[in-house]
Chain A
Amino acid sequence: MTEFFQTWMPFEWAWALATICGILLIALPLMLGVAMIIYADRKIWAAMALRRGPNVVGPFGLLQSFADGLKVFLQETIVPSAANKGLFLLAPIITFTVALMAWAVIPFNAGAILADINVGLLYILAISSLGVYGTIIAGWSSNSKYPFFSAMRASAQMISYEVSIGFILICVVLWAGTFNMNGIVMAQQHHVWIINGFVANPLLFPIWVMFLISGMAETQRAPFDLTEAESELVAGYQTEYSSMSFALYWLGEYANVLLMCALNAVLFWGGYLPPLDIPVLYLVPGVVWLLLKILFFFFVFSWVKATVPRYRYDQLMRLGWKVFLPLSLLFVFVISGYLMATGHFT
C-alpha cells in the first residue's frame, strides 16, 4: 500500500498514511465482526439450550447487537463517587485498546499483515500480558469488594496460564524456526504429507489441545469465567460499569476471543493456507480460509461455553500449574529432542 501512496507523496507521508489505512482496514471490520460474533454466540448458545435466541430486531435478529450498542450509547455513564475517577475511566480503554493492538501481527494473507516484524509471536505474548491491567485497574479503582475479588482472580488466572502458553508457543517456534507470524504460517505448508498445519503432527497435536484450553482460560471464557461468576461476584470486575465503559469491556472481551481463535488458526491450522496442499484450493483467497478457521474455532468456544460447567477456583489453578505446566515443559523437551535427533536445525 505504501507504493500506491508513494506515487503522489514522499515516502514518510506515504508510509504513515498507508499504516493508518491498514489500521482502519483491520479495526473497522473487526468491530463489525465483533458485533456479529456476539449475535452468533447468543444464537449458538440459544440453539444448544433449545431456545430461539435474539430474533426480534431485524431479520432473524441480525441487528440485535447494533440495537444493544445504540442502547448503551444512549445510557448515562455512572461513576461511583468513591471510585478513583481517572483510573476508573482509563481501565475499559486499556482493555479495548489492547484487544485491538494484537491484531497488528496477524497475517490475513500472504503479505497482508500490518506489521511484519521478526518478533511477532513475542509481541502477541507481550500484548496479551498487558490485557490483565484493564481488569486489575477496574477492580481496584471501582472501590468495591466484588470487583476487587474478581480482579485478584483475573490476574492470578492470566499469569498462571501465560506460563504454560509460553512453553506451548516455544514448541511451535522450535518447529517453525522463526518468531515471525508469516514464517510460522509458511512453515506449515504441506507439513504432514499434503496437510497444511502443525495440528496434523502427532507431536504437536496435544500441544494444540493444551493451547485451545489455555486460550479459553486466558480470555476468561466459560468454563474458566471465574472473574464473572455471577453467583459469587455479581458481575465481576465490571460490576460498577455502565453504558459505554461497559460496552468497551464487552467489545474488548469478544475481540480477545476472536484473537485467540485467530491464533489457533495461524499457529496450528495453517492460517491463510487451505487445509490441504492442493493447487485447486489455492484459488480461494487466503482471507476466506482464515475467516472460516476463525469462525470454526469461535463455534468451538461457544459450544464449550454452552455445555461445560464452570470450574472451581482451586481446580482452575490445579489445571494450570499441576497439569499444563509440567506437560508443556515435557513437550518442549520431547519436541526439541526429536528435532535435534532428526537434524531439523542443521
Chain B
Amino acid sequence: MIHVLAFYLFAGLMLLAGLLTITARNPVHAVLWLIVAFFNAAGLMVLLGAEFVAMLLVIVYVGAVAVLFLFVVMMLDIDFATLRAGFIRNFPLGVLIALVLLGELVIGIGAERAGAIRLGLPDVAGQAPEGMSNIAAIGALLYSRYLFLFEAAGLILLVAMIGAIVLTHRQRGGVRGQNISKQVARRPEEATVNLRPEVGAGVKL
C-alpha cells in the first residue's frame, strides 16, 4: 500500500516538476524544478531497491551537475523577450523532434510487447547473488564483465576533461604566484639584519 502511494507521489511530483521546468519563465526557477525532478527520480530508484543508483543520482546530478547549471544560469543575463520570440519560429522543428521521439518510443514499446526484444530479464551472469548488497553486486559486475566498457567510459570522460582544459586554459604572463613552500622555508636570518648604528650616523643598506 505505502509502496504504491509512494510510487504515485514520486512519479506525479517528477512529472509535475518536469512540466514546470520547461514552462518556468525564470531560468533559475527552471533549474530548481529540474532539481526537484532529479530528487523524485532518486525516490523512484529507492522504491525499485536500487539505493546505490539513487544515492549516486543525488550526489552527481543534484550535488554537482545542477549546482554548476545553477551557477551558469545565475551568471547569465537572459532576456526573455528574445527567447520567447524564437519560440514560434522553432515550433515546427520542435514538433518534428517530438514526433520522432514518440515514434521511437512506440516502436520500442511495441517491439518489447511483441516479444522481439527482451528487457528486464537478467541472464545468469548479470544476476546478483542472493543476500549480496546493491553496491557489491554492481561492483562485481562492473569490474569483471563490463571492465572494458567501464574503462572506455572513464577514458571518454578523461578526453572530455582534457579538451575542456585545453580550450579554456591560457597562459598569462606577469602573474605573481605564491610559492608556499618557499615562504615556509624562509628563516629570519635571511630576511632581517640586526644593526646597532652610532647615534646620528644612520644606516646604509
A residues touching B (Cβ–Cβ < 8 Å)? 12, 87, 117-119, 122-123, 125-126, 129-130, 132-133, 136-137, 140, 148, 152, 155, 159, 162, 178-179, 314-315, 318
The B58-73 residues at the A interface (CB cut-off 8 A) are 58-59, 62-64, 67, 70-71
Contact-size category for B? 20 to 34
Overall SS of chain B's interface = helix
Closest to B29 in A: A87
Provide the bound-state CA to CA distance between A318 and B134, in Å: 36
- By a CB distance below 8 angstroms, the chain B residues around A123 are 55
Point out the residue from B1, B59, B178 that lies within 8 Å of A314, measured CB to CB: B178
Point out the residue from A12, A137, A162 that lies within 8 Å of B63, measured CB to CB: A162
Point out the residue from B28, B59, B178 that lies within 8 Å of A125, measured CB to CB: B59
Q: Do residues A126 and B67 form an inter-chain contact, with CB atoms below 8 A?
A: no
Q: Do residues B178 and A122 form an inter-chain contact, with CB atoms below 8 A?
A: no
Point out the residue from A118, A129, A136 that lies within 8 Å of B134, measured CB to CB: A118
- By a CB distance below 8 angstroms, the chain B residues around A118 are 51, 133-135
B74 within 8 A of A: yes
Q: Do residues A117 and B51 form an inter-chain contact, with CB atoms below 8 A?
A: yes
Q: Do residues B35 and A125 form an inter-chain contact, with CB atoms below 8 A?
A: no
Q: How many A-B residue pairs lie within 8 Å, measured between CB atoms? A: 64
Closest to A148 in B: B74
B97 within 8 A of A: no
Provide the bound-state CA to CA distance between A182 and B35, in Å: 30
Q: Do residues B52 and A159 form an inter-chain contact, with CB atoms below 8 A?
A: no
Minimal beta-carbon separation of B7 from chain A (angstroms): 16
B85 within 8 A of A: no
Q: Do residues A136 and B51 form an inter-chain contact, with CB atoms below 8 A?
A: no
Q: Do residues B67 and A136 form an inter-chain contact, with CB atoms below 8 A?
A: yes
Point out the residue from A125, A140, A152 that lies within 8 Å of B55, measured CB to CB: A125
The B1-35 residues at the A interface (CB cut-off 8 A) are 1-2, 28-29, 32, 35
Interface-central residue, A126, A132, A179, A318, by most chain B CB under 10 Å? A126
Closest to A173 in B: B135
Minimal beta-carbon separation of B44 from chain A (angstroms): 15
Q: Do residues B1 and A126 form an inter-chain contact, with CB atoms below 8 A?
A: no
- By a CB distance below 8 angstroms, the chain A residues around B55 are 119, 122-123, 125-126
Provide the bound-state CA to CA distance between A130 and B36, in Å: 12
- By a CB distance below 8 angstroms, the chain A residues around B32 are 87, 137
Q: Do residues B67 and A159 form an inter-chain contact, with CB atoms below 8 A?
A: yes
